[in-house]
Structure 1
């Protein structure tokens, strides 16, 4: 038995044809703020806009709740859809025919695992960025350091720079609350086992983080 997987070509074409600003504007009124646009976050209640959309990078991020991602992530979170469902919904809007590749159940399982690991990485990037803009002394010191190195706030937001906290298990505890197994963090290189073999610790601590993105996340 085989199942159909949406082709990467279809995903790329949808991402190319649609503008994230137009999609999000259907849900959130946005106003221009320099190169980016801002509005009230659709994922939590707030009075002061902390939700930012980058037309150039085609991503969004909320400095209030940490929600962020690309055009597919937004629709998934806002509409409660799976990734394939989000692609199909956006493909219909873009007038793109959804092509599927036939794969075996084993291949499907591997792809589902890869997709989950991608989502964990995205969540980690949001965790680091939220930590950078936290009101505590660590975030303030890191921001001052970046600004001294000629990184203005617009650049920091655009490239979603973040800060790994100094705690040994800050990221691990963050993901434990979200049902992510520490073994998955080890597989992603985000956590390491200690020498005693009795536990795990965050691989990245007290350092600036630079996430790497492609056109679909």
Structure 2
């Protein structure tokens, strides 16, 4: 009749069994493994467990080519009498609450309720101040993606957190798709002082940028009969 087996023991040893007291007093696993000889099969199992743990750590880590580098965002710099350049700023997004637009002198977020700029981002500091920079805004109006030219990198700006990161470029999954050409809402002979695109709303109104002259202070956002002076507060 063989000896009774110990149930629930964490080790099977050839020279005695490690008791709970021995395990505690002698430094845990390392001490027991040092003082006792382990059966070859148990050694193999331990090795396989270690290999599996290392494999999981690699699998759960960042995929090749993915990265996110935090960048301290800097506010845009402008003056009231500054020339807006060869064309009006570009309208990127508009809703009942906010308007997002950009030009060479910065990216701007304007709150229609408070009637003031609530965010701005210096685009020259990230190499995204020319026409080759593609700006996309998410449908939830909280994320702006800036892709400079043919670069393999992009910048992702989170409006609510004023957070900016550099990351590997990939198209935005759910971009705002409400922009139309200004020619869809206005006759050609009237578009000289208006932005190239506009947003059409469910009530039939459309919103767009307009300027009476080529200075920053003259830039406005127009929706229906309402006019917002975008740079009035500075």
- TM-score normalised per structure 2: 0.26
For the pair shown, which has the larger CA radius of gyration, 1 or 2? Answer: 2
Which structure features the higher share of strand residues? 2
Which TM-score applies when normalising by structure 1? 0.27
More helix by share: 1
